[in-house]
Structure 1
Amino acid sequence: MAKKPQILLLAAPETSASVLYGLYDVLMSVGAVYLDMVIGKPGDELLDVKIVTANGKPFRCIGNIPVEPHAAIGDVETPDAVIVCDMYTTIYDVPHGRYPREIAWLKAIHAGGALLSSVCSGSLLLAEGGLLDDHRATAHWAYRDMFQRHFPKISFQTESVLCLAAEGDRIVTAGGVSAWHDLVVYLIARFCGYQVAIETAKVFLIGGHAEGQSPYAVMTRPMESNDGPITGSQEWIAEHYATANPVEKMVERSGLNPRTFSRRFRTATGFAPIEYVQALRVEEAKQMLEMDQISNDDVGAAIGYDDPASFRRVFKRGTGMTPAAYRKKFQRIARIAQPA
């Protein structure tokens, strides 16, 4: 019998049980469960799936859920693929130096021919190891600023749920924790074929995230405590985002010349001033579209856009969806969360 493709799940105490065990359940079922459900007779498992950690010892992951790894990373040969599960860190806490053994191992097995993939914050390990340098990559949208500040050689793709830009170099990154759905379908198709991937998706009702991350992304707005004029501008625009000529007014209030203001604002926030205003307005519009019943044009006017076309253009650029499509999607979620 031919050797099964081996996929290793790299985990740590900072890993979500939903990601680790969700991946494990789906990958272990490939080839077996679909036939069992359709004809009442299980097929052969097509993948060799193992959970690995730095030391191979039992531990508890997020939520105090017990995990018993199959092996330590030093005890396994180069696999066909590794999935770096999410390893949670706050948006302020770059995990430099936290996973040296794991990163060294990832670099070694990648050099040996393994495909590396990551879910959510798992891409931070690939980033720290330099494996994503000069590539486009993704993680959860909340880590955008962290990547831009600490890993400038990486082009962070906020909108992507599954980023295949570095696929040719055997690296694939996935966005938020539920993006493992998209990643697992990709890996099954790659190692077992398209039809098996479709069958597995049918078993688990995995539909993917065709619209990307952008509709879910929320603007992160950390206040820059070391630059008083910029912090003051952030505080002011948070209450006056609908005002006319907002950037001009922020510059006037700051006492800085426009060029200096723009440079310091970008350094502090990661946004150009007008981008910041637009992102803030879109966030306010999203909240209104999610819950309110006023017209789309009235939403645009309420946040500072008298021209409906301008509102639709800015909103779609920020979310990947028109205001009408966004309203339909998230009010449907609201009805599920708050049934009549």
Structure 2
Amino acid sequence: MSHGKNPLIVLLAAPETSASVLYGLYDVLASVGAVYSDMLAGTPGNEVLDIKIASADGKPFHCLGNIPVEPHIATDDEASPDAVVVCDMYTSIYDVPKGRYPREIAWLRKVHDKGALVTSVCSGSLLLAEGGMLDGREATAHWAYRDMFQRHYPQVSFRNESILCLTEEADGIVTAGGVSAWHDLTVYLITKLCGYQHAIETAKVFLISGHSEGQSPYAVMTRPMETSDAQISDCQTWIAENYEVAKPVEQMVARSGLNARTFSRRFKAATGFAPIEYVQALRIEEAKQMLETDEQLVDEVGVLVGYEDPASFRRVFKRGVGLSPAAYRKKFQRISQIAKPMAAKA
């Protein structure tokens, strides 16, 4: 633990880190205690957190976008943080970071063993998974990494709906979802280390409102095509064009020429979804696009994607998205109100 005046938070970064995450975290956390009173009374207060940027070797580098970063410390330095934030370390959803961050992972394990709270933003949780720190635990990251976690880190219970996964807090690990989830993580860290009042005041300064609805409304179904199983690939191609048909799973089974049990097993192995879950997810993705752009009634949208019963459509939609169809439309209409006038001028 830090023995200085203020709690020490270390932001771990690498060339794959987003500048918006690294410098956003730094600016907000470094302002705690100082900026709020300055905005109210014109007199800065005292900073209450010590914020340091760390990298494996401590040398200057450029992060994503060729933005320069000058770390304060290297992971080999004898820093004793109260908390660590593993910033996002971007990687393709097909590119597992095996063996890519050995020094960073060794340091994370060491400081965690010494009692530091270890947190991550977005793909930063991949480092924790690589280090075995998430084995047998629940964790989150950006929803697009769901398949990677299921295939390559099956010991981790991946919570793709969560913005902030706090279920492992008692063991000193907290993970946050997509890149903008650093807002939620920041509020959590300020509350934990500085108190609720500082968190509220900082949120007011930076207009941080959090993501109370979770990641699900933003998630998009990822559908990598299976290439090693020709029968399953053929069914994926077919259902993508025929998702609205009645009894879709039965039709895929018949098309494959397999018995139902074998088809289900091979489909799950190939896609990560049970067949009916895949169909439902596909239908909901189509419904979301209609709700975002079209003016049909909600019940009409349900029929178009294969649900004759409006109640069934609403139930399946809310279970998958976390919002009712009407609430989803309202949420994304706010974005369209900003985007459409700009698109018309282009």
For normalisation by structure 1, the TM-score amounts to 0.99
Identify the match of residue 95 of structure 2 among 93, 101, 119: 93
Q: Which residue of 2 aligns with 1:309?
A: 311
Q: Aligned AA for 2:85? A: I
Q: Which residue of 2 aligns with 1:134?
A: 136
Q: Which residue of 2 aligns with 1:230?
A: 232
Q: Aligned AA for 1:45? A: E
Q: Aligned AA for 1:109? A: V
TM-superposed CA distance for 1:42, in Å, is: 0.3
CA distance in 1: counterparts of 2:78 and 2:246, whole angstroms:
62
Identify the match of residue 324 of structure 2 among 322, 327, 332: 322
Q: Which residue of 1 aligns with 2:169?
A: 167
Q: Which residue of 2 aligns with 1:63?
A: 65
Q: Which residue of 1 aligns with 2:213?
A: 211
Q: Which residue of 1 aligns with 2:107?
A: 105
Identify the match of residue 85 of structure 2 among 75, 83, 86: 83
Identify the match of residue 184 of structure 1 among 176, 183, 186: 186
Identify the match of residue 14 of structure 2 among 3, 12, 15: 12
CA distance in 2: counterparts of 1:303 and 1:329, whole angstroms:
21
CA distance in 2: counterparts of 1:193 and 1:171, whole angstroms:
19
What's the CA shift string for 1:270-309, capped at 9, x where partnerless?
0000000000000000000001011000000000001000
SS in 1 for 2:262: helix
Q: Aligned AA for 1:41? A: T
SS in 2 for 1:280: helix
- Number of aligned residue pairs: 340
Q: Which residue of 1 aligns with 2:287?
A: 285
Q: Aligned AA for 2:7? A: P
Q: Which residue of 2 aligns with 1:334?
A: 336
Q: Aligned AA for 2:97? A: P
**Does residue 28 of structure 1 match 2:17?**
no
CA distance in 2: counterparts of 1:179 and 1:12, whole angstroms:
19
What's the CA shift string for 1:217-240, capped at 9, x where partnerless?
000000011000000000000000
Q: Which residue of 1 aligns with 2:197?
A: 195
The root-mean-square deviation of aligned C-alpha atoms, in Å, is: 0.9
Q: Aligned AA for 2:128? A: L
Q: Aligned AA for 2:260? A: P
Q: Which residue of 1 aligns with 2:49?
A: 47
CA distance in 2: counterparts of 1:208 and 1:336, whole angstroms:
20
Task: Give matches, 1:118-157, under 5 Å.
Answer: 118-157=120-159
Q: Which residue of 1 aligns with 2:261?
A: 259
TM-superposed CA distance for 1:113, in Å, is: 0.5
TM-superposed CA distance for 1:76, in Å, is: 3.2
Please identify runs of 4+ aligned residues in structure 1 that moved more than 6 A: none
CA distance in 1: counterparts of 2:78 and 2:65, whole angstroms:
28
Unaligned ranges ≥5, structure 2: none
SS in 2 for 1:52: strand
CA distance in 2: counterparts of 1:168 and 1:73, whole angstroms:
24
SS in 2 for 1:338: helix
Q: Aligned AA for 1:167? A: E
What's the CA shift string for 1:102-150, capped at 9, x where partnerless?
0010001000010000000000000111111111110000001111111
CA distance in 2: counterparts of 1:301 and 1:158, whole angstroms:
28
CA distance in 1: counterparts of 2:213 and 2:79, whole angstroms:
37
Q: Aligned AA for 2:72? A: H
What fraction of aligned residue pairs are identical, expressed as a percent? 74
Q: Aligned AA for 1:57? A: K
SS in 1 for 2:84: strand
TM-superposed CA distance for 1:257, in Å, is: 0.9
What's the CA shift string for 1:179-234, capped at 9, x where partnerless?
00000000000000001000000000000000000000000000011000000000
TM-superposed CA distance for 1:2, in Å, is: 6.1
CA distance in 2: counterparts of 1:61 and 1:77, whole angstroms:
23
What's the CA shift string for 1:64-94, capped at 9, x where partnerless?
1010111111113221000000000011111
SS in 2 for 1:60: strand
TM-superposed CA distance for 1:312, in Å, is: 0.1
SS in 2 for 1:222: coil
CA distance in 2: counterparts of 1:235 and 1:2, whole angstroms:
60
